[in-house]
Structure formats: structure tokens, C-alpha cells
A and B are shown apart, each in its own frame.
Chain A
């Protein structure tokens, strides 16, 4: 059990970096995200490409981390890497992504910003958050056994 404190400290550090990143990049601001998603503004010069400047560096940093991880048997504070196991591109993936796309386009809010926004309490946020939780639970009921929940989850 000696690994528990570093394990949770790592989760806290990661969450904190994520929250700071969402704020600094302004991706917590749904209106800014919508100004990226509004491609009709490209011809008029009103488009805001900032979101692309957030996600590309994030991917590059994570790409390097994954390469470092490949040189190790296990992460520092757990017994194995929890690789996402699914490989097939199926209807669930495409339908799920499409439904999420509608919700995201309606609001400019994806899950990370939705949760970070509780720090700022904009009017109406709780309607979105509670609905997102209910929607997630409903989706979980449709995945028998929970496709993300594999036996090694018990480790932590």
C-alpha cells in the first residue's frame, strides 16, 4: 500500500495541470469554443482557430510521454499501463461521437470544461452537468459490463 500516496498525488497533479491548462487556453469559455466551431465565420475573418493551437501541442506532449512509456514495463505507481482495449470501429463509436458532436455544437461545452466551469458557476451550468451525468449513466446501462471497466480497474 506504500504506493497509494504517490498514486493519488499523481492524480491530483494531473487534474491540476489539466484545470490550469483549460483556463489558460480559455477552453473553459464555451463562447470561445463556439467561435472555433463556427466555420461560417471563416470567409468573414471572424473565425477563432485557437482550439487547434490547444489540441496540437497537447497531442505532441502526450505522444512523447507514450514513447517514454513504451520503454518501461509499468507506470511509476501502478502495476501496469491501462491501455484502452477496444480496437474495432463500430456503430457505437460513430453514433456516440455524432451525438456528442451535436451536444458540443449546441453548447460549446465538452466534459472537461463542463466540470471546470463549476469553479465559475455560470448561470445554467447545473442543467448541463446533471444532464451530462444522467446521459453518461444511461450510456453505461447500454454497455453490459461497461466496456471501459476491465478487471485491472480493481488495482486502484
Chain B
């Protein structure tokens, strides 16, 4: 439990909720990152606002780490990704490519990710999103259990 951080977690959660609120009340758009990311390439229309959103997302993560190093990751930038589980003999690039393909493909055909279904969909009380959230949380927990990646 030493890493449990309810205060910064809740503060960050409020910021994420405000981000979704601003995009909805301002532009009438759902702040689902997978969808925003997935529609960046032609023939995706309405690409410019998505590009602006994602650029600001990256810039703000960078700036927050410098302005508030004591918040967030406790002064330590998230400088490494999780290595493949020991004993699986899979090179890290291969592991990451498989995980990335599944994440991109799955969120596209399932129409949403942790933000689109998780935050916005549950707030909309969407039955579709509730099903999606239950499925991807359960499967992710099962995957971690099976791989013992942590």
C-alpha cells in the first residue's frame, strides 16, 4: 500500500473530469482519447481539433512534471515501462508491439477506452459503456494475474 495516493489521485481525477466537461460543454465532444487518436489520419474529418487536443495533452503532462514535481509521480518522472514478465522469454519490443496492437485495435472496434467508456460513458449512464468497462477491467485484471507482470 506504500504507493497508494488517494489525494493526488482524486485531484487528478477532478482535472480529468473537468477536461471532459470543458470539451462537452464547449464543443459538444466526448473526451475519449482512443477515438481522438484514432481519427487523426485522413480520411478522418475534424482532424485539427484532435491534433490541438493531443498536443496540449502532451505539453501539459510535460509542464506538470516540471511545475509540480512533488505532486504526481512524487518527483520521479514515469521513466520506464513495465518489462515483459520474467520467464516468458519475449523481447520487450515484441511485448510492447503486441500490447499496442491489441490496445489500438480493441479500442477502435469497441469504440472507446478508459476515458471514452470509463469516464464519459459511465457518466452518461450508457449501458454499452458499462459493459465495455466491466469487460476491459476484468480482462486486464485476469491478464495481470496470468502473466504475473507486476
Shortest Cβ distance from residue A113 to the other chain B in the assembled complex, whole angstroms: 8
Known: A10-B27, A17-B22, A128-B100. A97 touches B131 (CB 8 A): yes
In the complex the two chains form, is A97's CB within 8 Å of B117's CB?
yes
Known: A39-B141, A57-B10, A115-B54. A49 touches B4 (CB 8 A): yes
B-side interface residues, number (CB < 8 Å): 118
Q: Of B3, B49, B62, B81, which is in contact with the most chain A CB atoms at under 10 Å from its CB?
A: B81
In the complex the two chains form, is B56's CB within 8 Å of A55's CB?
no
- Fill in one digit per residue for A95-118: 1 if any B CB lies within 8 Å of its CB, else 0: 111111111111111111011111
Interface residue A1 (Cβ < 8 Å from any Cβ of B): no
Shortest Cβ distance from residue A59 to the other chain B in the assembled complex, whole angstroms: 5
Q: Chain A interface secondary structure, helix, strand, loop or mixed? A: helix
In the complex the two chains form, is A154's CB within 8 Å of B46's CB?
yes
Give the residue of B82, B132, B133 whose beta carbon is less than 8 angstroms from that of A107: B82
Chain B, Cβ-Cβ closest to A63: B123
Kindly list chain B residues whose C-beta atoms are within 8 Å of the C-beta of A14: 19-20, 22-23, 26-27, 31, 53, 56
Kindly list chain B residues whose C-beta atoms are within 8 Å of the C-beta of A24: 8, 11-12, 15, 64, 68, 71-72
In the complex the two chains form, is B26's CB within 8 Å of A38's CB?
no
Q: Chain B interface secondary structure, helix, strand, loop or mixed? A: helix
- Fill in one digit per residue for B1-36: 1 if any A CB lies within 8 Å of its CB, else 0: 101111011111111111111111111111101110
Shortest Cβ distance from residue B72 to the other chain A in the assembled complex, whole angstroms: 5
A-side interface residues, number (CB < 8 Å): 126
- Fill in one digit per residue for A53-69: 1 if any B CB lies within 8 Å of its CB, else 0: 11111111111111011
Q: List 17 A-B contacts (CB under 8 A).
A: A11-B27, A14-B56, A22-B57, A28-B73, A54-B13, A58-B119, A72-B25, A92-B110, A93-B110, A97-B133, A110-B34, A114-B103, A131-B100, A132-B103, A138-B101, A148-B111, A149-B44
B residues with CB within 8 A of A: 1, 3-6, 8-31, 33-35, 37-39, 41, 44-46, 48-50, 52-65, 68, 71-74, 77-82, 92-93, 95-111, 113-115, 117-124, 126-128, 131-133, 135-145, 147-150
Instruction: Supply 17 further A-B pairs (C-beta < 8 A) apart from A32-B3, A37-B144.
Output: A8-B48, A16-B19, A18-B15, A19-B61, A22-B12, A23-B12, A24-B68, A25-B12, A26-B5, A64-B21, A102-B102, A106-B95, A115-B37, A123-B80, A124-B93, A128-B103, A137-B41
A residues with CB within 8 A of B: 6-8, 10-32, 34-35, 37-41, 45-51, 53-66, 68-69, 72, 74-78, 80-82, 84, 86-89, 92-112, 114-120, 122-125, 127-140, 142-143, 146-149, 153-156
